[in-house]
Amino acid sequence: MENSITLVEIILRLFLSVMIAGVIGFDREHKNRPAGIKTHALVCAGACLIALLQKQIGFDALQLAILRPELSGILRADEARLIAQVVSGIGFLGAGTILVNHRVVLGLTTAASLWAVAGIGLSFGMGYYNIGLVGALFVILVLVFSKKIIRVNTIKKLEIKYRHKFETKEFIQKYFENKGIIVSDVNFKVTQDADKIIYVNVYEIEIPRDLNYASIIEDISMNKNIMCIQMISI
């Protein structure tokens, strides 16, 4: 019976962890997310190391039980103990990648990818190559290809501050119609600043898949009467 993990196995498992997590991290870094290649690779390698350590502890406990049968009743080597700490502990690192900016939550996908690569690292560390490789494949598919395969019209709230009510409101409505943007709800209020009346509309809009937030904001902001425009979370 094998009683230890060979050096070749250790190198192979760590190599797979770093390489595959690096691919996932490349997607996050390419999209300018808080955690990139190095962070994902380190998380995956660290999880792999913990799994290797837990596996070795189990081998050592088994070997000791064989050599000292009288201790077999009191020896404990729960292979899930350290792994469970990784699964729960990675949440703190993931939480650090989540940002709230102007009521918009960013970084949830990156936090989830960190949690996923920890699972991949644990799979390789425990020697379950098939689980690790298939899991990595699905993580990469979700991150890279999900938006291309599943076409979803996203719903957002757009806050626009402007002057000259009728002229600007007509411009906004025509822009939405031309771009195929569906307005499902709108809230309206009026404020006053230095003897100037400022109108504030909050539109709940459904954006076509081929449009992005940045282009909408840039296009509308070109109007001379627009004072402020921003996306806010629902």
The CATH number of the domain holding residue 197 is 3.30.70.260
Q: How far apart, in Å, are the Cα atoms of 151 and each of 156, 193, 205, 208?
A: 16, 42, 16, 9
Confidence check: pLDDT of 218 > 70? yes
| Span 8-39, pLDDT tens digits | 988 998 999 999 988 888 888 877 777 788 88
Helix and strand numbers (H, E) in the chain are 8, 6
Sole residue written with tokens 């595959």: 20
Confidence check: pLDDT of 61 > 70? no
Q: Do residues 160 and 46 both lie within one domain? A: no
Of the candidates 116, 149, 182, which is a domain's last residue?
A: 149
Q: Give percent of the chain above pLDDT 70.
A: 79
Taken in order 142, 146, 149, 150, the sign of the CA dihedral is: positive
pLDDT value, residue 220: 92
Band the pLDDT of 1: cuts 50, 70, 90: very low
Q: Do residues 42 and 112 both lie within one domain? A: yes
Of the candidates 149, 166, 192, which is a domain's last residue?
A: 149
The verdict on residue 204 lying in a domain is: yes
According to DSSP, the residues that pair with 189 across neighbouring strands are 200
* pTM as predicted: 0.63
According to DSSP, the residues that pair with 186 across neighbouring strands are 203
Closest CA to 156 of 51, 229, 226: 229
Total number of domains constituting the chain: 2
Band the pLDDT of 107: cuts 50, 70, 90: confident
pLDDT value, residue 205: 87
Q: Give residue 126's identity as a one-letter amino acid code.
A: M
The verdict on residue 218 lying in a domain is: yes
The verdict on residue 228 lying in a domain is: yes
Residue ranges of alpha helices (H) inside 31-98 are 37-67, 81-95
Residue numbers of the domain that contains 109: 7-149
| Span 157-207, pLDDT tens digits | 889 999 888 899 899 999 999 988 888 888 888 887 767 888 898 998 888
According to DSSP, the residues that pair with 230 across neighbouring strands are 159
